[in-house]
């Protein structure tokens, strides 16, 4: 997928309570990627430890809903994404739990780890919707031609706002708040939510993320089979997030690349030629920024043309629905990925 680079000539958009800049010049890569992409020498990726891990099968019990929620919250708060919080023993939850145990040299057993549970003594909390939440909710559209006419691609409802804020499945919030009708939420209403560190869209500011020298030695691995993005530093796994890695028609490009630019709240150029065939066409729609932008709240450009790591407007499809050659993750995970890597990091897709 592609986004637009900022230029000196910009127009202003109103999104929430802050002014955002909408770029008006073409871009699918950062300025560093304007040169022909260079294929880096293949590294020893995936790490030997990762290859060995896949051979180990561990049987986990079906935890009760509260225990599962507490473990999901713990993993999420520690950058081992379990997918959406729903109190169920899903695939991503199981994989994230075992990855955390391996990374921290914990026994790979199916027992409930009391130390982990002790970090989340209260699995649920109450959230009162503030008046400013309405700044992030607005009209929506399905067709790109209609989306392009909107000033911003905001949340379609306060329920969607709350669900993404607390990394949750909407159906799980409905279950937690029975018999309350969450389709009619309004500012001032109080809802029961998982006690996870919230994703605060109001803290995001449009623009490019500056390089972080402290993360210069980190390496990103994209495991297309297990559908996880893994971040390593000095052969130590420090974070792991579930993804959708391309599609059958346009799979994520196997190889070793580099991060060439990281943009927050990007504008998206919807080009059917790029999306379906990887070839730029003369017909496209310019879609404004917002959490319901097709690339969500983040575009991380790679040295492979037209390919990046990005957020999504459909977090419930992570790991299941196809992506057009890119690596797609939930917005709340995308917001954390940008804080854990930097421009210049190697990205190995395998």
The reported pTM is 0.83
Q: Using CB atoms within 10 A of its CB, is residue 77 exposed (0-12), middle (13-18) or buried (19+)?
A: middle
Provide the pLDDT for residue 3.
40
- Mean pLDDT calculated for residue range 318-339: 85
Q: Which residue intervals of the chain are DSSP H helices? A: 48-53, 65-77, 91-103, 114-118, 144-147, 158-165, 170-176, 272-277, 331-337
Neighbouring-strand partners of residue 296 = none
Q: Residue 262 pLDDT more than 70? A: yes
- How far is CA 214 from its chain centroid? 22
DSSP state letter for 90: -
Q: What gap in Å lies between CA 186 and CA 169, rounded to an integer?
A: 19
> Is the confidence at residue 134, as pLDDT, over 80?
yes
Nearest Cα to Cα of residue 93 among 16, 167, 18: 167
pLDDT band at 323 (very low <50, low <70, confident <90, very high): low
The pLDDT assigned to 77 comes to 98
Instruction: Give the mean model confidence (pLDDT) for residues 55-70.
Output: 81
How far apart are alpha carbons 129 and 73 in whole angstroms?
21
**Strand segments (E) across 189-288:** 190-194, 207-208, 218-223, 228-233, 236-242, 244-245, 255-264, 268-270, 285-287
């Amino acid at each position: 997928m592609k986004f637009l680079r900022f230029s000196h000539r910009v127009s202003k958009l109103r999104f929430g309570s802050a002014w955002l800049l909408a770029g008006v010049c073409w871009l699918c890569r950062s300025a560093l990627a304007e040169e022909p992409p260079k294929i880096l020498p293949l590294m020893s990726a995936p790490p030997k430890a990762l290859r060995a891990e896949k051979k180990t099968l561990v049987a986990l019990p079906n935890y009760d809903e509260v225990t599962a929620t507490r473990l999901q919250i713990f993993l999420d708060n520690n950058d081992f994404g379990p997918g959406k919080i729903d109190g169920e023993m899903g695939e991503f939850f199981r994989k994230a739990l075992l990855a955390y145990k391996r990374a921290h040299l914990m026994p790979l057993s199916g027992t409930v780890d009391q130390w982990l549970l002790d970090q989340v003594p209260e699995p649920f909390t109450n959230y009162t919707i503030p008046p400013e939440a309405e700044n992030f909710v607005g009209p929506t559209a399905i067709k790109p031609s209609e989306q392009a006419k909107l000033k911003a691609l905001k949340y379609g409802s306060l329920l969607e706002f709350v669900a993404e804020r607390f990394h949750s499945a909407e159906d799980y919030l409905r279950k937690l708040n029975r018999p309350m009708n969450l389709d009619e939420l309004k500012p001032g209403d109080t809802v029961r939510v998982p006690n996870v560190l919230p994703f605060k869209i109001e803290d995001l500011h449009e623009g490019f993320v500056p390089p972080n020298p402290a993360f210069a030695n980190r390496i990103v691995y994209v495991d297309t089979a297990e559908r996880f993005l893994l971040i390593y530093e000095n052969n130590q796994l420090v974070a792991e997030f579930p993804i959708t890695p391309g599609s059958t028609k346009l799979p994520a490009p196997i190889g070793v690349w580099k991060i060439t630019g990281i943009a927050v709240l990007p504008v998206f150029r919807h080009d059917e030629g790029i999306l379906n065939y990887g070839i730029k066409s003369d017909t496209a729609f310019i879609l404004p920024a917002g959490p319901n932008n097709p690339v969500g709240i983040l575009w991380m450009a790679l040295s492979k043309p037209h390919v990046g790591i990005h957020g999504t407007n459909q977090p419930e499809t992570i790991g299941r629905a196809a992506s057009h050659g890119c690596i797609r993750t939930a917005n709340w995970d995308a917001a954390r990925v940008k804080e854990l890597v930097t421009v210049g990091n190697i990205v190995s897709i395998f």
